[in-house]
Amino acid sequence: MLDIARTIDPSPVEGAPTPMMAQYLEIKAAYPDALLFYRMGDFYELFFEDAVEASRALGITLTKRGKHLGADIPMAGVPVVSSDDYLQKLIAGGYRVAVCEQVEDPAEAKKRGGKSVVRRDVVRLVTPGTLTEEALLDPARANHLATLARIGGPRGAMAIAFCDLSTGLFRIAPTDEDRLFADIAAVDPSELVVPDTMREDEALRPLFSRLGRALRFEPAVLFDGASASERLCRFYGVATLDGFGAFERVEMAAGAALIGYLGRTQFEARPTLMRPERVEPDRFMLIDPATRASLELTRAVGGRRQGSLLDTIDRCVSGAGSRLLASRLAFPLTATAEIARRQDAVAWMTGDNRLRRSLREALKGLPDIERALSRLALDRGGPRDLGAVAEAGERARLLAGLLDGREVPAEVGEALADLAAPPTELAAFLGATLGDELPLRRGEGGFVGSGACERLDEARRLRDESRLVLGDLQVRYIAETGVRALKIRHNNVLGYFVEVPEAQGASLQATGVFSHRQTLASAMRFTTPELADLEGRIAEAGSIALKRELELFSAMRAAVLAAADELRRMADAFGRLDVAAALAELAVSGNWTRPIVDDSLAFRVEGGRHPVVEAALKRGGGAGFVANDCDLSPPAAGRRRAAHGAIWLLTGPNMGGKSTFLRQNALIAVLAQIGAFVPAAHAHIGVVDRLFSRVGASDDLAEGRSTFMVEMVETAAILNQAGERTLVVLDEIGRGTATYDGLSIAFAAVEHLHEVNRCRALFATHFHEMTALSARLSRLSNATVRVREWEGEVVFLHEVGPGVADRSYGIQVARLAGLPPVVLDRARQVLGELEKGERTGGGTLDDLPLFSAARAAAPPVAAARPPPALEALRAVDPDAMTPRDALETLYRLKGLLGS
C-alpha cells in the first residue's frame, strides 16, 4: 500500500473550494469519462470519485483533503517517478487517464499574488490504443488503434483505419458487412473508435460486445467524409493525396478520424505516422474470429499467448521481429510470388547454419528503434532512446558486414540495402555526443559524454569541484565546533544546510556564525554566509550544465527525426532478417520442409504434424507425434481432373486425434501462406483465400446463445461464404441437438459443401450413417482414425487412413476419464440393448429396466480375480524352459482357456 498522506493546505472555508480545487474541478469537467492525474509537486493526485476508483483499481491508500459542499473530499495519489506502473494497471483495467501537468513556472504564479495557482492543463489523454512508453507495451505485440467508418447507412460502404502509434505504422482497409468481423479480428485493436451513430446498430452488437472496454464511441463529426481529404493533407503537409495511392471516400473518412482522434488524445504532441498504406482485400487470406480462436493462432485458451501457434513458432530475438511475425500470421498472403520471396529468404538461411547463427547473435537484444523514434517524435523520449538509435546504427553495420559480398535472395538483398539507409553524419554525431551511462529521463542530466562540449565540461568542473569543497567545509565545521555528528545536507525546500542533533544545537547558535533555519523532532538545521555563497555557485553551475545538456538533447533529437524515414527502413530490415532467420531456425530444428504454394486447387500433405502439439510432446519427453497424410486435391475424373477439391469425411473415436488432424492441416495452410516452412515431409498447397474452422464447443451467454446456437451461427457463416478456394474444417456438426435433427443438419451441410460451395473440406463426425454419402458424392471420401482393442482395452493409434469407424468407443473413453464402474456397466447394458433394437427393429429406451432395479440386482462390486490361464502364464519362466516344456505349457494354457 502506498502512503500518500502529505501536507496540503486545507480549504479555508468549509464548502468553498480553494483556488486549486476550483482549477481541478474546471479541468475535470472537460474529461468526465477519464481519471484525472492532477500534478501537484512530485505526485499525481486524484480527487472525488476518481480517487475512489483509483484506490480500488491500484490498491493505494484512500485519504481525504478538506471539504467540498460540506463533505470530505476523497483523495489518492501516485508518485510521478513511478506513474508508468500505475498507468499500466489502469489501462489494462479499461480506464482512460487524463494527465494534467503544471504548464507554468511556480515563480510566475507568485508574481500574480500569494494565493495564485500554478497554471495546469491536460497534456495527454492516455488510452489503450495510444500507448508509447516502453514499460506499458509488450515488445512482441503491436498496439493497434483502429477506427471504423461507414458512409451511406447500415448497408453502406465501410473501411477500417489502424495505426500503431508506438511504431508509426498506418494502414487503411476497405471492408464490408460480410468480412468486417474477420478484418477486425486480424487487426486485433487495443482500442476501436466508432461513430456514436453506430451505437444502436443490431448487426454490430456482437462485435461491440466482444470488444468490451476496447470500444470507444466518438461524435460522428470526427468521421466526416466531406472534409476527410483536407484533414489528411493538412496532417501530412501535402496539397493532394494522389501520391499516397487511390483511396475511396469512406477509406479517407476512417483515416481522417484516426488522425483526429490522435489529435484529441495527444494534444500538442504530433505523432510521425508513416504514409497510409492501403490494404488490398484480395491480397490476404480471410480468417474469421471463430476460426482464429479455434486454431489458437495468436492466443490459446483463456486469451494467453502461451500455447498458441505464434508462441510455438516465434524464435525471433528482437521485438521488431516478433511483431512482424505476428503481423504475418494475422494476414497470411494469397499472392504466390510474394510467398515465394519469403520462402526463398528462409531457404537461404537454412543452407548456412554458421551465417544464420551469426545473424541471430547480431540481432539479439537489438534496441527497439521503431518505438524509440515514436517517443522522440512525441517529445516523450529520453537519452536511452537516442542511445538505441546509436546502437542500432552499429548493429546495422555489423549485419551488413556479415552479408556483404554474398549472393542473397531478393528479400535479404532489400534488407541489406536498407541497413545502409541512415546517414553516417547522424551516427557520428550521436557517437561523439552521448556518454556511456544513459539515464532514463533527460531532466536527470549526465547523458552527454565528457569532451563533447567544452562549455558543458567547464560547468561540470565548477559544479563537481564545488561539491568537493562542501566535503572540506563539513570537516572544518566539525573541527571548529567539536560536533562530530555535524552533516551538510540538501533538500529541495531549504537547499544546503548544516544539521546537528538537537542537543548540540544551542552550542552552534552560541558561535554567532550559524543561523538557525529549522527545528525537527531530533535535529536542528543551520546555515552560514559561507555555505549560502557556495550553494549559489553550485546551483548556477548545475543549472548551466543541465541547460547545455538539454540543448544538446534537442539537437540530437532533431537530427534523429530528420532521418526518421531512413531509420524506419533500417528497423524494417532488422525485422525481416530476424523473421527469416527465426523461421529458418525453426525449420532446421523441427525438420520442417518448404511447401509448394501455387494457384491450383491442390491440397496434399504427406507426413503432416501439428506444430503446437508436437512441440508440447517434445517438451514433455513423451512419445513422438504420429504424422499423417491428407489429400484434398481435386480427385481424378477419368482422363481429366475434377474441377474442384475433395472432401474427407472423418470418423473415429473420441481422443483418437480427429480434432488434432483437422487443426494441423489448417495450420499447415496458414504457415505455408505466411512464407514459412511447414511440419510435414512434403506439402503442396493451392492458395486458400478463406479459411473456416469450426472445432470445439463454446457458448455465448452474454448474447443469449447456447452452444448449439453458436455452432449453427458459425456453420451458417461457412455455408454462406465458402468458395472453391476456401478450406473448411468442421468437427461434430449437429451433435448439440437431438440425434435425428443433428444427423439431418450434418447430412445437408456436407451436401451443400460438395454441391454449392465446392470447396476443400475436412468434416469429422460421429454420425456413422453419413459414410454412405461417399457412394453418391463424387468428391467425398471416407477416412478414419484407427484404434486397436487389446485385452478389453482400447489403444489409440492416432493414424488416419481410408475407411470407416465401426463405433465411437465412448464408453472406453468414459472409463479413462474415471466414471464409476457401476455407471460404465449400466452404460454397456443400455448400449447393448439399443444396438440390439437397431438390428431387430425394436428395443427402445422404454423397454430397458430401470437403473435402480439393475443396480439393486447387481452383485456387490468386488475385486475381480484374473482368469486361471493368466495366473498360470504369470508363473512361467521362459528363460528356464526347454522346447518340450514350452510345448507342454502351451497345451496346458489352451486347456485352461477352453475351461
Annotated binding-site positions for ATP: 652-659
CA distance 383 to 232: 32
CA distance 614 to 626: 9
Q: At what angle do helices 564-590 and 410-419 cross, to 10 degrees?
A: 140
Going by C-alpha positions, the residue among 600, 597, 762, 612 that lies closest to residue 682 is: 597
**How big is the CA angle at 469 (ends 467 and 470), to the nearest 5 degrees?**
65
- Residue in the block written with cell 504434424: 609
CA distance 432 to 417: 25
Q: Identify whether the C-beta of residue 418 lies closer than 8 Å to the C-beta of residue 567.
A: no
Q: Which three cell numbers stand for residue 173?
A: 482497409
10 Å CB burial of residue 8 (0-12, 13-18, 19+) is: middle
Q: Identify whether the C-beta of residue 15 lies closer than 8 Å to the C-beta of residue 69.
A: yes
Distances (CA, A) of 684 to 332, 346, 450, 614, 678: 16, 17, 61, 21, 11
CA distance 609 to 671: 12
Kindly tell me the sign of the dihedral angle through the C-alpha atoms of 881, 886, 890, 892: negative
Going by C-alpha positions, the residue among 731, 785, 741 that lies closest to residue 763 is: 731
Q: Is 302 left (phi over 0), alpha (psi -120 to 50) or beta?
A: left
- Show Cβ contacts of residue 734 under 8 Å, excluding neighbours closer than 6 positions: 741, 742, 743, 744, 745, 746, 749, 765, 767
Going by C-alpha positions, the residue among 631, 630, 586 that lies closest to residue 608 is: 630
Kindly tell me the sign of the dihedral angle through the C-alpha atoms of 525, 528, 532, 537: negative
Q: Identify whether the C-beta of residue 809 lies closer than 8 Å to the C-beta of residue 786.
A: no
CA distance 182 to 749: 22
Q: Which residues are annotated as a binding site?
A: 652-659
Helix (H, G, I), strand (E, B) or coil at 290: helix
CA distance 698 to 661: 20
CA distance 501 to 499: 7
Going by C-alpha positions, the residue among 718, 721, 714 that lies closest to residue 736 is: 714
Q: Identify whether the C-beta of residue 625 lies closer than 8 Å to the C-beta of residue 614.
A: yes
Q: Which three cell numbers stand for residue 897?
A: 482357456
Q: Which three cell numbers stand for residue 288?
A: 474469421
Q: Which three cell numbers stand for residue 202?
A: 443490431
Q: Identify whether the C-beta of residue 365 lies closer than 8 Å to the C-beta of residue 254.
A: no
Helix (H, G, I), strand (E, B) or coil at 286: strand
Q: How far is C-alpha 226 from the chain's CA centre?
A: 35
Going by C-alpha positions, the residue among 65, 60, 70, 31 that lies closest to residue 48 is: 65
CA distance 390 to 436: 12
Pairing of strands 628-631, 603-608: antiparallel
- Residue in the block written with cell 492543463: 121
Measured in degrees and rounded to the nearest 5, phi and psi for residue 438 equal -110, 125
Q: Which three cell numbers stand for residue 162?
A: 489502424
Going by C-alpha positions, the residue among 567, 580, 560, 564 that lies closest to residue 403 is: 580
Going by C-alpha positions, the residue among 395, 376, 421, 397 that lies closest to residue 555 is: 376
Measured in degrees and rounded to the nearest 5, phi and psi for residue 158 equal -130, 155
